[in-house]
Structure 1
Amino acid sequence: MESLNLVMNNSCAIYAKLPQTGCNLGVCRSIRTEARRRNNVVLCKGGERLWLDRRELLLASTSAIAVGATKKAAAKPMPPPDLEKCHNPDTAPTDAQNLNCCPPYSEKPVDFELPTNLPMRVRPSAHDVNDEYVEKYSRAIQLMHELPPDDPRSFTQQANVHCAYCDGAYYEGSLPVELQIHNSWFFLPWHRWYLYFHERILAKLVGDDTFALPFWNWDAPAGMTLPPIYSHPGSPLYDELRNPAHMPPSKVDLNYDPQKKSNILTGPKLVASNTNLMYRQIVSGAKTPSLFQGQPYRYGDNPDPGAGTLENSPHGPVHVWTGSPAQPNLEDMGNFYSAARDPIFFAHHANVDRMWTIWKSLEGKRRVDFDDPDYLQASFLFYDENARLVRVKVADALDPKNLMFSYQSVDIPWIKARPKKSSAKLEVTSVGSHAAIAAGHISEFGSKARKLVVPITALVKKPKKKRSQKEIDDETEEVLVIGGVEVKRGVAAKFDVFINLAEADSDTAISCPEYAGTFSNVPHHHEHGGKNKRNGKPKSPYRKSSFKVGITEILEDLGATEDDNIVVTLVPKGDFKADPIVISSIKIEYD
């Protein structure tokens, strides 16, 4: 078990074995003041900076401490950002560098108290609302536009909330580290809070506590068109920065590829594609909280540890499908900094939030929220309907009933849409009985990163032949891990994943049983997107993350449960030769 060899320097501790990593005494001096203020020391290992309590360091100096245990001891829930340190977004596009997303700040936050005197509100399907509702909703948005620009409840300030939290305008508490609420386990609870306060402000403006935001149920055929209430020029619900080709009656493509110009799905084939994607991303590929909601993200961590299946798709493609291709950055919906300027953002995310409630109702004992204290006690800041700055915690957002809202019941056709089992079993064994493997045409991914500009097909060894009976009883999931996924932040990068379908390409329908899931990136950065607050250097236009999807059910359907290996094919959805997606590894693990 590896132990820590420490060199003391006032309030800094340096991992002595790794002086070449750049996490050195000079770096520590630059943050010594912060360490003293927090009664902490700084541990640098492998370029990773960890904050430790001084008592933990004393223990480390007198005995061996496992690196893994040290990381666990150092973990802390994410604190709210310091609004006084808000700055222009780091990751806004080049032509939006003077953008100020910071809210007005004039008071210290108070702790939010769950509502006790509100009626239970039912969020309606946007396709089913009546004229009275549309008039009230439109009036509420108009009144929001008419508020003074420095009122935190005004429409511009409300849109800026998303910009600030999603484009690097905030730090993680007092650390010089970008706070990002996407691509992690914060994606769902943060957006639930965001919608809650937006909804309550609208209700306050029209004097109706029963008012609830609508949801755009793009997951069912009846809701796959952009809701008509958002499509009328002159209405406060209208946004001119949308894709004109995607106005009703066009149906949304939940696996949308903005570069594809031919073989575009329509009609029943598009509905089948959408239905299968929903099943894979919400049902079969996401049977654990980390698969569905995203990877852990704690105080001091770098952002973007990994999005859940829902955030990858359908969430991401709907954003890009709605934004205007005539705009330099797919504004409004197609870019993080501008997405909430379009009122339909809130209907889109209401349906994303609805997916969370549906997911927890599905079969499986592991479809529950995280119980990690670092998740539950993480906190954020919002302005409420009375323009008070309030501090909220993730724990209070887990049950919609606590916030006094629910969703209209509508058809959910994809829950039972398990693809038909493959009629032919592709045998992929350790001795290479599959013809292509035997001929040497399919090899392992290898140890070097590869650019995903054309489909990549690789042989992936399973850690073991099959799960134990205890693992089956515990619903341990076999997980396909695409590691070190590096994409340019400003590019709508996507790729599909197929199991035992070596010939898959960009025209392969995802309605096939071999389809495993989709990775997508919503643009939120450009070439010159600010500077790194750690070292003052230009911020990298790339983000590095991972993509994980459960494959236990797919392996069952393909007759590959007890195979030694599987064939994985990654298919880029677009031409990324100029800005290639980079993949570092492909493996299988157990969750």
Structure 2
Amino acid sequence: MFDVKVTVGYVDLSLGHVFESGHQMSLVTWQIERAKEMARPRARPSGLNSSSAAIGRRRGRHGHSPSRLVLSVSQLKATARTGAEACEDSTEGDDGEDDATIQQALIHRRQLLCGATGTFSYLTSAGFGIAAPVPPPNLSTKYCEAIPDEQSCENCCLPDLLKAPIDFKFEDLPMRIRKPAHILSKDEEYVKKYNQAYVLMKGLDPDDPRSFKAQWHIHCAFCMGAYFEPNNPNDIKLQYHYSWAFAPWHRMYLYFHERILGDLIGDKSFALPVWNWDNQQEGDGGNQMPWMFAPLNFGATPSELSNAIRNPEHFPPQVVRLDPCCYYEDMGIVYDSNLAFMHRAVVSSVSSTNFLGKPYRAGQTEDTNGPGSIEENGHNIIHSWTGSNYLKIHPNNSDMGTFLFTAKDPIFYSHHANVDRLWTVWKSLKIDPSTRRGSRKREDPTDSDFLDTQFAFYNHKKELVNVKISQTLHTDRLCYKYEALDSDQDWINYKFKPSGYEKPSPGEIDKLGPDTVLKKGVSVSVPLSRIEPTPSPGDELEETLVILGVQVPRHSVLHFKVYINLLEAGVCTPLGVENFVGVIAHIPHSGSHGKRHKRKVDFRISIGACVKALGIERNERVSVTFVPGTLSEDVDFDGVAVEWN
């Protein structure tokens, strides 16, 4: 993981690399000096490690190097010991520290995995106490590039009104209640009002930041890599997917979008509808595409709610199928699998790392991130299910099925309202099926890099507003909430069933090859070594399967469902068996960050609940079986490992 040997080092915290330097500076001094350094040109530090993905190989557009942090090895060692007692330094008092010392000092930020090496670590929200929150974007045109998509070079740069941003402040507003879209579809007055809001929004000048085109481009810009991170010399792009920034950024995206719609129709109490596709109660219609988005007209007014490219085979009354692999004829199995899917995606994920995603810090590239279950499960499945590849007329499952065009569809905002709602449900859960003790509380990260990360949005007054993640964590402060839904209890309290198959013997697991290709149309099984931390700190750690370095396709969706100790798992193995642990799913990202190569993504799946249900012993090896769904090509990956969060 590391290949450096130094006594004093330059540290890139986002990746855990150390570079040679000849100076020393205290952590406190660095905190103060960092801001000063950002404002003046600086020379590139010497001794740049060629393996660093965070530090570019050429001088960036800003003409200066990253801010410098210099630590003595003793400082690194002391930091490593804080909260990471499992890392013991065998060279204490030796000025000629070896590579292992540096690795131990950095491991708490990077996370050591249990896999082929047989090593392990656990993650807390603390790590190094050094601030590196992601700054808000600069909307000047010099910080933005068009997205080089193969079909069209889309300029997603937002209007720059040349005004200084203001800080977000909570307002005294009517409490807005977001209700299920399938219920509101029956309210003709609401549907007309909602539709009229989009008619007015689409009638605005495209250079108006409130216009529908500008609203669509917000997602395109910050989820496809149009904007450079401010004050970074290495042309690193801002990317709010694949990390703990995903949920709070989309929450505020919807917040300002909703406020703009309400302002256009003169209704401060207007609230977005919620497409609660997790609702499996027959007759409710929540698990169908809401009727308000179906291709209809409302009198002489065109239906802007249906003005999008969608899969016509999935119009209502077709039921959402969250199992990405099998088209079950038995609707009972469809509903049951959907409930099992939701339980694993929301209830089984206890740690914020598994649910919200890996940390995203200033100077960090997207290849070092990892999505949480809130993003990679139902969110991605619904995107690809709604988008159309019907008769292969539209590329990349437009609109909803590709990052570039997804926010062109009004249903996007209703879909994401449910994703946002599930975040509030997750935090309210009192059950813990995944840790040994079974009493861990769900909490948002308390890391200052999370809380102080800032986003920028235009409000209904065309003012550019900077908002911190710390301001996004409570919907009541934002003056909206969700109608309570009884249907949530169906998947929260879901009970998995035995598969009926015997677990594989140690000999059978030993025979499994170390495959590093997830194959189209073929299930792949690999062995997984598990070594629990000893002593275990309070048995509050969540065991996590990490699928490392998956090279996600650029032009097609990726779907796999994953089973533990079920070598017989196939395309139509239901999700309701105890061995099912979750899915990995991804939607096309062609053109993102200007990359012409495949992006690597680490996918995380909580397996603690499955391990407990199956009675798997501590440190017992298991099998992991990947069952392919929609996939146009074989996919390389770097292996599997266990992580303790």
TM-score > 0.5 by shorter chain: yes
Q: Secondary structure at the match of 2:48?
A: strand
Q: 1:132-531 residue pairs with structure 2 within 5 A?
A: 132-175=189-232, 176-221=235-280, 222=284, 223-233=286-296, 234-256=302-324, 263-265=327-329, 267-284=331-348, 286-304=349-367, 305-325=369-389, 326-363=393-430, 364=432, 365-410=440-485, 411-412=487-488, 413-422=490-499, 426=503, 428-429=505-506, 432=507, 436-437=508-509, 441-443=511-513, 445=514, 449-453=516-520, 454-464=522-532, 470-472=537-539, 475-525=540-590, 531=594
Shift of 1:37: 2.1
Native 8 Å contact 1:462 1:565 kept in 2: yes
Does residue 558 of the first structure (1) align with residue 610 of the second (2)? no
- CA separation of 1:189 and 1:6: change in aligned 2, threshold 3 A: same
Shift of 1:217: 0.6
Of 585, 603, 624 in structure 2, the residue corresponding to residue 568 of structure 1 is: 624
Return the alpha-carbon distance in structure 2 between the equivalents of residues 243 and 442 of structure 1: 39
Of 29, 45, 52 in structure 2, the residue corresponding to residue 47 of structure 1 is: 52
Paired position in structure 1 for 2:641:
587
Letter matched to residue 124 of structure 1? K
TM-score of the superposed pair, with normalisation by structure 2: 0.78
Shift of 1:89: 3.8
Paired position in structure 2 for 1:122:
177
Of 159, 162, 180 in structure 2, the residue corresponding to residue 103 of structure 1 is: 159
Return the alpha-carbon distance in structure 1 between the equivalents of residues 237 and 264 of structure 2: 34
Q: How many residues align?
A: 540
Q: Secondary structure at the match of 2:306?
A: coil
Q: Secondary structure at the match of 1:570?
A: strand
Native 8 Å contact 1:255 1:313 kept in 2: no
Superposed CA deviations along residues 482-516 of structure 1, whole A, max 9, x for unmatched, are 11111123221121110000121223222222111
Shift of 1:468: 6.0
Paired position in structure 2 for 1:534:
none
Of 6, 9, 15 in structure 2, the residue corresponding to residue 4 of structure 1 is: 6
Letter matched to residue 176 of structure 2? R
Native 8 Å contact 1:309 1:549 kept in 2: yes
Return the alpha-carbon distance in structure 2 between the equivalents of residues 38 and 122 of structure 1: 50
Superposed CA deviations along residues 177-219 of structure 1, whole A, max 9, x for unmatched, are 0211111111100000000000000111111111111100100
Shift of 1:245: 0.6
Of 128, 150, 160 in structure 2, the residue corresponding to residue 94 of structure 1 is: 150
Letter matched to residue 312 of structure 2? P
Superposed CA deviations along residues 536-574 of structure 1, whole A, max 9, x for unmatched, are xxx233111111111111112112144611111112223
Return the alpha-carbon distance in structure 1 between the equivalents of residues 241 and 151 of structure 2: 22
RMSD of Structure 2 on Structure 1 (CA):
2.9
Shift of 1:358: 0.2
Return the alpha-carbon distance in structure 1 between the equivalents of residues 37 and 151 of structure 2: 34
Shift of 1:589: 2.5
Native 8 Å contact 2:498 2:577 kept in 1: no
Native 8 Å contact 2:458 2:464 kept in 1: yes
Q: Secondary structure at the match of 1:128?
A: helix
Paired position in structure 1 for 2:112:
none
Q: Secondary structure at the match of 2:162?
A: coil
Superposed CA deviations along residues 47-67 of structure 1, whole A, max 9, x for unmatched, are 24467655x437579987946
- CA separation of 1:159 and 1:575: change in aligned 2, threshold 3 A: closer
Moved more, 343-352 or 490-499: 490-499
Return the alpha-carbon distance in structure 2 between the equivalents of residues 459 and 136 of structure 1: 55
Return the alpha-carbon distance in structure 2 between the equivalents of residues 521 and 236 of structure 1: 28
- CA separation of 1:571 and 1:78: change in aligned 2, threshold 3 A: same
Letter matched to residue 567 of structure 2? A
Return the alpha-carbon distance in structure 1 between the equivalents of residues 178 and 241 of structure 2: 24
Superposed CA deviations along residues 8-60 of structure 1, whole A, max 9, x for unmatched, are 9xxxx99469xxxxxxxxxxxxxxx9978266864733324467655x43757
Q: Secondary structure at the match of 1:402?
A: coil
Native 8 Å contact 1:428 1:564 kept in 2: no
Return the alpha-carbon distance in structure 2 between the equivalents of residues 459 and 515 of structure 1: 16
Shift of 1:104: 3.4
Paired position in structure 1 for 2:33:
none
Which 5+ residue runs of structure 1 have no aligned equivalent? 18-32, 532-538
Moved more, 517-526 or 222-231: 517-526
